[in-house]
Structure formats: structure tokens, C-alpha cells
């Protein structure tokens, strides 16, 4: 697990655009962002797809203000819906995904205090599925037209509160979250 403090911040346009360097193919981009993204990436199109209504983008940064992870919270399905979760490759296998999800859920509970959380994940993304299951997410019935290539997973409200509590001591009123 990473030892240096991490901070959750609202993602800037430039930080979001920098994410493009991670994706080497259209398949990688679709696996992360869903349908609608086109490869090779064009700035305006990429940023428009990231800026959906009722969606907030965040980055987790280290002490050098280097982005280590990205994620979004959305007002969808009457849940705190998590989307486009990503730990940058050089920071994987350090427990950062749990810190990112805890911080995002904590932010979401500030806006929607009684909600549970949800997310979609491709069935072939077994590493992500295992990570979400370790946090307590469970497969659930898809809220819209079912897709056979995706799991819809939810985390009940009590589990959201427990997970958010691991982030709560580090959250201040200015949208910054510190881990360490």
C-alpha cells in the first residue's frame, strides 16, 4: 500500500486530457470509458464525453501533485454511481483503488446521504471485479436494458458509510481528501 499522503481534488481539464496517454488502443479506451469514445483521441471529443450531465470528475494526487488515479461520481439510478475509475499503471497494486473509491463515496454521501453506490464493470475485467468485491460490491440487476458484457454492482448504504469512514478523517470542506 502506498505510504505517501494522497489528496482527492476536482479534476482540471488538463488533468483529464492527460489521461489520454494511458490508452494505446480503442479497445483499452472503451474498456475504461465505455462506448462513444473514438480512438485516436481528439481533445474536444474526449473531454465532451467525460463531461456528462450530473457527473463530477476527481483525481487522486500525491504530494508532488502528480495524478495517481481518476474517477467520477454521477447522479444515476438514484445511487452514487461511480464511473471511469482508473489507477494510472505505474501506481497499480498499491491499494490506491480502495482509497479512490472510499474518497469518491465519501464525496457522494455528502450530496446524497442516504444512497447506496453502484458501478458498471466489464465481465472480462476480473481484476477490477475482485477489487470491487473485496470492498463489498455485489452483482445486481441492471437498471436499464441489460448488457451481457457488463456487471452492474452495488454497495449497500451501510457498507458505503463504513468505506467512506476510512476516508472521512482526511476530507475537508474544500473538496480535498488526504490519505497516508
* Pick from 97, 25, 4, 12: nearest CA to 51: 12
Q: Which of 67, 56, 68 is nearest to 108 (CA)?
A: 56
- What is the residue extent of each domain of the chain? 6-172
The highest-level CATH class for domain 6-172 is: alpha beta
Neighbours of 122 (CB within 10 A): 16
DSSP H or E segment with residue 81? strand 79-87
Is the pLDDT at 3 greater than 60? The verdict is no
Q: What is the pLDDT of residues 5-63, one digit of tens each?
A: 899 999 999 999 999 999 999 989 988 988 778 888 899 999 998 888 899 999 999 98
Amino acid at each position: 500500500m502506498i505510504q505517501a499522503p494522497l489528496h482527492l481534488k476536482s479534476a482540471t481539464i488538463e488533468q483529464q486530457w492527460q489521461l489520454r496517454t494511458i490508452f494505446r488502443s480503442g479497445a483499452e479506451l472503451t474498456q475504461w470509458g465505455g462506448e462513444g469514445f473514438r480512438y485516436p483521441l481528439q481533445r474536444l471529443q474526449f473531454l465532451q464525453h467525460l463531461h456528462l450531465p450530473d457527473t463530477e470528475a476527481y483525481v487522486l494526487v500525491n504530494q508532488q501533485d502528480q495524478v495517481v488515479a481518476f474517477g467520477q461520481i454521477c447522479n444515476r439510478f438514484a445511487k452514487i454511481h461511480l464511473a471511469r475509475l482508473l489507477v494510472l499503471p505505474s501506481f497499480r497494486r498499491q491499494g490506491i483503488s480502495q482509497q479512490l473509491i472510499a474518497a469518491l463515496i465519501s464525496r457522494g454521501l455528502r450530496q446524497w446521504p442516504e444512497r447506496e453506490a453502484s458501478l458498471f464493470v466489464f465481465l472480462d475485467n476480473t481484476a477490477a471485479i475482485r477489487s470491487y468485491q473485496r470492498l463489498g460490491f455485489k452483482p445486481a440487476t441492471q437498471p436499464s436494458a441489460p448488457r451481457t458484457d457488463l456487471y452492474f454492482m452495488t454497495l449497500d448504504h451501510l457498507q458505503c458509510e463504513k468505506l467512506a469512514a476510512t476516508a472521512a478523517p482526511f476530507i475537508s470542506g474544500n473538496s480535498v481528501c488526504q490519505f497516508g
